[in-house]
Structure 1
Amino acid sequence: MTVLERNRTSRGRALVGAALAVIGTAALTASYAYQSNAVSIVTQFRVSDFLLKSTVPATGAPPPSRAVIERAIEADPLNQSIFNTAMMQIGRRGSNVLPAETWFTTLGHYGWRSTPALQNLIYYHASRNNIGRVLDVADALFRREKRMEEATTVFSLAETDPQLRADVVRRLRASPAWRRPFLLGSNVLTDPAAIEGRYQTLRTLQRTGDRLPEQEMTALLPVLVRVGRTADAFSLWSFGRKGIARPVNDPQFSDAATVINQDDTAKPFNWRLLSGDNFDVTPRGRGAPGVVIHWNGQGVPIFATQQTSGAAGAYKMRVAFDPEDAASAKAVGYRLMCGDARIDLVYVSAPDTTHSDWRTVQPVPCAFPRLEIFGVLTDTRQDITFTLNGIALQRTPS
């Protein structure tokens, strides 16, 4: 067996395991009613004990007779829940003379009407490694908004296999109701294979003409940045997008109002404006560019941050502000971050009353450094109001 075959086998086993987790050992409820004489039977059972074994352990209540089961099916032959319960009960009585394939083929013909039936189907197909059918049933659970966390895990594992990923992409391109909840789920993006699978899914959607909205990338983008794949994150985010400035996007803070939430780390290439006990940062408003910083001079707060698209090297920067704020220009500092490595920009000069010039103290060692705007600690601790109208960051010869 080749390395590729072993990897695919391993992924297949993991996917089957995730599919079986959709059912687990949780007790389910099967119910049906015989309408003509108001017969109603509700039975607790465990799916993982059913059908592939000859009998199902009793739960305390005696199983209904086969005659009652047959009358219930005759009364409502198109009811998937009734057929599912009949299948379970006949199996529990030990009188199941039909092969499992016959039962489950018929059960599948009913469509996607019953969650317990879907869980039976997913167990049946997963135990036989019928991954395509597992995805069909997981899709149905998504559409019914049932067992969505487990169904998300099934699809996430499918994304790690190129052939199965094509199936996932096909389903996503049809814009099912579960598309956005699935793509916004970040709890499955915990290992390199899952991260790469989701990245390739989104790239394939983009390359095949899908207009992938930014919101559907917000689960993946910060994960890519966190694991050192910032270039991939920027490529994904910027694909087909117009009006992106480099290396600092939105240099005049025109769109900063859309990312003002302090907890919003899902849009790393937009401005993230922060607020705290001693300060707040707000967009200027009324369609005007810029942000207004209010700070009481205490602490060393970070006012705003953005993941830039700059390359490694030395930089110079020009900062624009209101003329009445010229005296506060040095109270606000700037630095570029490469992970935990900090490269400060130092004040150079003020060419006029509305601008100040800065430069890096040393070349920036990484691509895509994070720009931070912060408060400079002073002895006076005076209240400061500073209107920041724009930033022009430019790479220079080292």
Structure 2
Amino acid sequence: MQLVELDVSRNDIIEIPETISYCKALQVADFSGNPLTRLPESFSELQNLTCLSINDISLQILPENIGKLSNLVSLELRENLLTYLPESLSLLHRLEELDLGNNEIYNLPETIGCLVSLKNLWLDGNQLAELPAEIGSMKSLLCLDVSENKLEHLPEEIGGLVSLTDLLVSQNLIDALPEGIGKLRRLSILKADQNRLAQLPESIGNCESLTELILTENQLQSVPRSIGKLKRLSNFNCDRNRLASLPKEIGGCSSLNVFCVRENRLTRIPSEISQASELHVFDVSGNRLLHLPISLTALRLKALWLSENQSQPLLTFQNDIDPESGEKVLTCVLLPQQPLEPDSKGSDNLARCGALESLVNDMVDDTWDDKATKRISAIHFLDDDDEDDEKGRLMRQATPHPGELKSMKKAVENLRNDLNAAKALDSNKNEVNNTTVTTSV
């Protein structure tokens, strides 16, 4: 009866006895990973319970009397079979952590907004199609994870989460973020990758604390000019979208450290990018760039990716003149960018260029130069007429990935060692044979 903490997780317990109610002093209980299907009715008598973990026990129904655990601070229900939440859950006014990830919950009760002390709410991996407007009442909420659901939109009231620092909405069906998101002045991390976003609201620039913005695999065609107001933004990933241009205001992101816009439709990079003086990693591979701005040399870049199969993070650039504008630009062997064409055998020839695959599949519009797409990196030599044509040209093959280079180097070293060992063995045999011959003579 003086027991304060009980951990019987990861066993084969099939039932919790009703006599658990005698443990009046119990504060922490963990029953996770057992073949349980229900909780005893007497559970509600554990008035001193503050932390309850019942993850992965195939629980289908959360008892209505769960609301009587008035001192509960942390409730973990991850990886169960819950389809709905009881209304009494709203009575847990001291609850700070609620983990409902990886269940089968289809909707949240409107009373969820009554959890005014809640700081962390995990709802990832469920079947949610919408969030109630009342969720905006959680003024203390720091982290909201609703990734891997079926959300098509977020309520405008989400702007009421004034304390929110982490908003995770990845892998949903969201086509637009609400303007109210600009009210989240403390928001530090926004992950909205793998959705259907066609545009970002101008109000995104008001999220002044944003440090990480992940928008990979959406349908964005542009980035709002207000993006330049995000002075603390450090990591910006907008890979695999439909961006045709970048606003010059992007240079205002003075803390930008990693900027990835791989596999888009960019034809130029604004020269103002050089104002982002902290930029170290810039990934523009899989686009349609003809050249780079000369201002890029002002940055202390550690990696500039123009192609997925680059052998090194930085290349040697040469100055050139843009024939259209007459301005000085940078170019190299990988510029202008171009897609790889399927070879004559029908294979896509993208073994080491997977990042360009979606770009190649989308190359049906007329914005790309036909001459560039038909260019073949081959060097021809004069030779006799009776020789095979394949012997008269030198093809430029894809540069191996650094990991492949290491494997190739190791294989060559092993081969060299084997050859040296074989030569040494042959040398020893020859010495023995010579000695035998001399003795015989």
> Which interval holds the TM-score relative to the shorter structure?
0.3 to 0.5
Query: Looking at both structures, which has the greater relative contact order when contacts are Cα pairs under 8 Å and sequence separation is at least 6?
Result: 1
**Greater per-residue strand proportion:** 1
- The structure richer in helix per residue is 1
* TM-score normalized by the length of structure 1: 0.38
The TM-score, its normalising length taken from structure 2, stands at 0.35
Bigger radius of gyration, 1 or 2? 2
